[in-house]
Structure 1
Amino acid sequence: MTEARPRSTRPRDRKQQIVAAASEQFRASGFHNVGISDIAEAVGISGPAVYRHFRGKQELLHATLVDAIDKNTQPFQGEYGDLREMLDAVAGAMLERRHTGVLWERELAHLPPEQRQELRTRYIATIEPLRTAMAAARPDLTAGGVELLLRAVIAVFATMSQHAGKVEPARARRLMTDLAVVLSEFRGLTADADADAAEARRRSVPRGRLLPVSRREAVLAVATRLFAERGYEAVGMEDIAAAAGGMAGPSLYHHFAGKSAILVAALTRCLEAMLFDLSAALEYAEEPGQALDGALHSFVRISIQHGDAMRALLHEIVNVPAEERQSVRRMQHDYVTEWTALVSGHRPELSSAEAELLTHTAHTVVTTLSQGDELWTRRALRREIVALGRTVLGLPADVPAED
């Protein structure tokens, strides 16, 4: 008589296993480059088994983002003796979940508008205790000033946790906490920083966009903006042609081999501009701190004036074909390497890994504050971003450079 085989049971945490696998897949490869079969294979189940829990990949993305937000809720909700204790607890929690910031920053755009708004509301509620604590610690600040510093602090947590792999964990946590405290205590905001209502309305009006006369340049300009606004995958060649002065779709191929070639050209253009400015900072500086300050001013200017290209650079690189991505990544690496060398020269007490960590952090603080539309009601935002970048890098306020 054949012995009956025991019936396999589905693990009680199967749904959470799927969410965890999807989170890692989306982080590593990007939403559009991951299939349900990839996620199923990572869990060790079949594709149809995933659909028992989720109706599709988009619903799974939503679940991963909800999970990331909810897991980060606890450190914000605790009882703390002071602001530093709270910031240290958040730093520790973020280091345990190092890559959640990548999902939030890069993949949120792939959800419908109503779900994006729902998640933003959920996220704002999560960090509200930190906002309240910072406002209580800084009664001298307006609500706008608290918002500016809060965003800078959150950018520190997100970036340093993501790039802290080369730094000993206890040291990384201390660096994160110390920098978050320093930024929360920052005293360099201008007294008249908040613009009046009329100024705020003026700044909120969309800028006019004059297209270049060159068809190729016009295509690059509008494609970069569309990629930033909608996400690379949501933009078609027909959309780019229409926005570039009503060009016929097929005529785009006279200038670019395809959509990925447009993205590569946009990213390369942005990186070349950054490297070109950096070479000038190196040429005319007498010591690393002065060159670093010049590079910071350049990075702030490009982040503010070319925010579309910066957003594409930050979030859409995963959509570039592997063979083309390598050259873009090499340029990114070269830019970060030059900054890291300057940070090391200016702050020899730091290890190379720590200097690189501060470089990434300074870049993220600048781009985060440069792209927050709500902050543009601040009269001196550009000067404030430079000052906060100097604080991250450990530069003195009186380094000679023009704002």
Structure 2
Amino acid sequence: MSTRTDAPTRREQILKEAARLFAERGFHGVGVDEIGAAVGISGPGLYRHFAGKDAMLAELLVGISERLLDGGRRRVEETAGEPDALLAALIDGHIDFALDDRPLITLHDRELDRLRDTDRKRVRQLQRQYVELWVAVVRELYPGVTESQARAAVHAVFGLLNSTPHLGTPAAGDGLPGRGATAALLRSLAHGAFGSLAG
């Protein structure tokens, strides 16, 4: 979801490779030496950047929750009270996350319970705030919808958008038809799901 164009820092490189490896083989299936090798440093060299694998996992899962919420809040400010435009912007932003950060979806599903209580609670708190941001715009667009209906619809759309790790890869020719086409498909499905609330 970031619009940065400058080169990633070593810390960011480590996190990206850790996310990929954790998603592929599980948190306990990856050692610090393998993460270090993926970024061209020794395993012990990782400890100059992180206290250990637990710290990497926490930063990955708390970090993406913070980025999603910050991005959502930014879109609220940018759309200045236009609920149609805001919902479209929220959907597009989440699609970017779902397509560009697929390993983090897998990590969240498999490894959230490995976080320390404080980190796990922080992730849940950030996620609740993100959901409520969506619920507010859905209820503004569809005034007849109850809060619980809006929340259920938001979670259903998240489930749809966050299905990307299960769709295969374009390179393998076994699933995703390409980023642009997949984004368009997800966008259409998400808008269709919310549009059904109008009935």
Instruction: Name the TM-score class by shorter chain.
Output: 0.7 to 0.9
Residue number in structure 1 paired with 2:152:
357
Q: Deviations over 1:369-393 (max 9, x none)?
A: 4640133136722111101011112
SS at match of 1:376: coil
Residue number in structure 2 paired with 1:267:
61
Residue number in structure 2 paired with 1:312:
107
* Contact 2:62 2:119 survives alignment (8 Å): no
Separation (CA, whole Å) in 1 of partners of 2:26 and 2:145: 37
* Contact 2:112 2:120 survives alignment (8 Å): yes
Residue number in structure 1 paired with 2:46:
252
* Contact 1:222 1:243 survives alignment (8 Å): yes
* Contact 2:105 2:165 survives alignment (8 Å): no
SS at match of 1:377: coil
SS at match of 1:271: helix
* Contact 1:256 1:262 survives alignment (8 Å): yes
Which amino acid in structure 2 is aligned with residue 217 of structure 1? Answer: E
CA positional deviation for 1:303 = 0.7
Residue number in structure 2 paired with 1:329:
124
Q: Give the one of 289, 293, 303 matched to 2:88.
A: 293
* Contact 2:167 2:176 survives alignment (8 Å): yes
Residue number in structure 2 paired with 1:217:
12
Separation (CA, whole Å) in 1 of partners of 2:89 and 2:158: 14
* Contact 1:216 1:255 survives alignment (8 Å): yes
Residue number in structure 1 paired with 2:141:
346
- Structure 1 vs Structure 2 CA RMSD: 2.1
Residue number in structure 1 paired with 2:4:
none
* Contact 1:226 1:235 survives alignment (8 Å): yes
Separation (CA, whole Å) in 2 of partners of 1:344 and 1:375: 34
Which amino acid in structure 2 is aligned with residue 347 of structure 1? Answer: Y
SS at match of 2:163: helix
Residue number in structure 2 paired with 1:281:
75
Residue number in structure 1 paired with 2:37:
242
1:375 equivalenced with 2:169 (yes/no): no
CA positional deviation for 1:355 = 0.9
Higher RCO (C-alpha 8 Å, min separation 6): 2
Q: 1:213 to 1:283 in 2, by over 3 A?
A: closer
Which amino acid in structure 2 is aligned with residue 343 of structure 1? Answer: V
SS at match of 1:308: helix
1:233 equivalenced with 2:31 (yes/no): no
Written as runs of structure 1 = structure 2, the 5 A alignment for 1:132-171 is none
Separation (CA, whole Å) in 2 of partners of 1:267 and 1:324: 9
Q: Give the one of 166, 177, 189 matched to 1:388.
A: 189
Separation (CA, whole Å) in 1 of partners of 2:166 and 2:137: 25
Separation (CA, whole Å) in 1 of partners of 2:130 and 2:115: 19
Give aligned-pair identity as a percent: 28
Residue number in structure 1 paired with 2:3:
none
CA positional deviation for 1:266 = 1.1
Which amino acid in structure 2 is aligned with residue 387 of structure 1? Answer: S
Count of aligned pairs between the two proteins: 184
CA positional deviation for 1:320 = 0.8
Which amino acid in structure 2 is aligned with residue 355 of structure 1? Answer: A
When Rg is computed on C-alpha atoms for both structures, the one with the higher figure is 1
TM-score by length of 2: 0.83
